[in-house]
Structure 1
Amino acid sequence: MKTIFAVIAALFLASLPAAAFEKDFIEAQTAYDEGRYSDASMLYADMVSNGVDNVALQYNLANALFKGGDLPEAIWHYRKAYYAAPRDPDIGANMHFALNAAGAIEPAPSLIQRSLATLSQNEWIVVAVGAYAAMALLLILALLIPAAKRNLSKLSLLPVALILLSAAGWWQWKQLEIHPEWVVVNSGATTLYGPVTGSTAHFKVPLGALVRQKSVDPKGWIEIEYDGTRGWLERKYIKRVSP
């Protein structure tokens, strides 16, 4: 799978004007293959910060960070790659390994949530557009062929179902904007019962943990949920993954 991602990234980079980032990509790949993970991470990160943001680069950057021992940043980039390619087994497996290495508990979505997350947000949009087009075509055919109107009306139930399903899938991903995910990137993260310094300590969150925002306090505190338990955490301990 690593080779596939490398090919995809190479093709993408080759399509850019004057292959602006091709040299950095090759250097990063070489550094990674030679075990110079810090150099590879820096080169991949520079490419992402300069606007070349795709699944292949996020995945490669995460791998370099993981190999270099920077688990929090590796998990952050694995999660970014997962958003774009939720069905990719290597992204899921490596993120699982990274979370285990960090001693963090992996999120456990429900069966419905897992099913709706099978397609990315952009893929659900494509499904919806295709379903709308199919429904419009069936309606036109029903007008042009009155004798087939009954059967075409029955067939139109399929695109209607797909539209409803894609709306549910899109809404599932939309929740990441309403309740974004964060990664704990600084050690010493202990949640409190309230968003006030000096409030009673609640529970510790391991470095690299993936948490979900539930609410926000204007003073810079985030109410997070981790392993089914909520607590307040200062923003300085976490880095937002979701859009």
Structure 2
Amino acid sequence: MKYKITFLFLLFLSIICSASEVEDLMQNGNNLYQKNQFEEASKLYERVLNYGYESSELYYNLGNSYFRLGKLGYSILNYEKALKLAPSDEDIIHNLAIANARTIDKIEVLPKLFFIRWFESLVNLFSVNGWLYFLYFLMILLLLTAAAYFVINKIIIQKWAFISGSVILGVFILSLVFFGLRLHQDSQFTNAVIVEQAVTVKASPDVSSNDAFIIHEGLKIQIDDKVSDWYKVRLADGKIGWLRSTEIKII
């Protein structure tokens, strides 16, 4: 029993120490960034990631550091990771747009019908965790309205609780659908960013295969398949080809 208690205590202590060190690294990184020491700041932010800690703020700060260093690919990579955790954050969206404007390749996205774009924007309104928290919130509201309906013996209150509960239930079901679609989207589709200045996309997963086309640093691509250390990639305009794993970073 003493051994178990000691082990749990040491585990708890290590977690506390790690959290404290992560907080110190983040603060020191922010201080270095304010002093325009972007290289040193990025190293501290990367150390935080090595601890297994992730947040939209961390990726956003790291993206800013790489942008200042002129590393466009890594800047966009981290902005995209930040956006994945906080899809509605205006600062992330703004800085990502600025970084994307500096990329060489201007790929025309395949056109989609208006209602499809509108529906996708609703699905991407929150991250997976964001939709989950929203569902928890709606569930609490449903329980409160149900309690008001069954406990309070007043017609006006019961009528209000019934109408409110019906609306909340409808929103809950719709949000559950969006949560499922966002979860499927994140698990089904993998995106990446080109991190080298220029890469030659191959027609097949072989160095000796024909060159398909050339793309440049910062371009966001979709991963369709993997063979050994080669990825089958798809551009927004539908072009496909193969790239080595060293030429891209997964978002």
Alignment of 1:49-60 (within 5 A): 49-60=50-61
Q: Secondary structure at the match of 2:65?
A: helix
Q: Contact conserved, 1:119 with 1:169, CA < 8 A, in 2?
A: no
- How far apart are the structure 1 equivalents of 2:221 and 2:21? 36
- How far apart are the structure 1 equivalents of 2:104 and 2:22? 36
The root-mean-square deviation of aligned C-alpha atoms, in Å, is 3.0
By how many angstroms is 1:87 displaced? 1.4
Q: Contact conserved, 2:222 with 2:233, CA < 8 A, in 1?
A: yes
Alignment of 1:183-222 (within 5 A): 183-213=193-223, 215-222=224-231
Q: Contact conserved, 1:113 with 1:172, CA < 8 A, in 2?
A: no
Alignment of 1:25-40 (within 5 A): 25-40=26-41
Question: In 2 relative to 1, CA 220–146 (structure 1 residues): closer, same or farther, beyond 3 Å?
Answer: farther
Deviations along 1:191-216, one digit per CA (max 9) or x if unpaired, are: 34444444443332211111122x21
Unaligned 5+ segments in structure 2 are 1-15
Q: Secondary structure at the match of 1:208?
A: coil
Q: Secondary structure at the match of 2:102?
A: helix
For 1:117, the equivalent position in structure 2 comes to 124
Scaled by the length of structure 2, what TM-score is found?
A: 0.75
By how many angstroms is 1:121 displaced? 1.7
- How far apart are the structure 2 equivalents of 1:26 and 1:61? 13
1:131 aligns with 2:138: yes
Q: Contact conserved, 2:108 with 2:237, CA < 8 A, in 1?
A: no
Scaled by the length of structure 1, what TM-score is found?
A: 0.77
By how many angstroms is 1:99 displaced? 1.7
Q: Secondary structure at the match of 1:216?
A: strand
Q: Contact conserved, 1:223 with 1:230, CA < 8 A, in 2?
A: no
Unaligned 5+ segments in structure 1 are 1-15
Q: Secondary structure at the match of 1:86?
A: coil
Deviations along 1:41-72, one digit per CA (max 9) or x if unpaired, are: 11111122123322222111111111011111
By how many angstroms is 1:105 displaced? 4.3
Deviations along 1:119-152, one digit per CA (max 9) or x if unpaired, are: 2221211222232333344455555569687775
- How far apart are the structure 2 equivalents of 1:198 and 1:61? 37
For 1:77, the equivalent position in structure 2 comes to 78
Which structure: larger Rg? 2
- How far apart are the structure 1 equivalents of 2:198 and 2:222? 18
1:91 aligns with 2:92: yes
Aligned counterpart in structure 1 of residue 177 of structure 2, from 154, 168, 180: 168
- How far apart are the structure 2 equivalents of 1:89 and 1:217? 34
Give the aligned length: 226
- How far apart are the structure 1 equivalents of 2:213 and 2:50? 34
Deviations along 1:196-239, one digit per CA (max 9) or x if unpaired, are: 444443332211111122x2143343332222223122242211
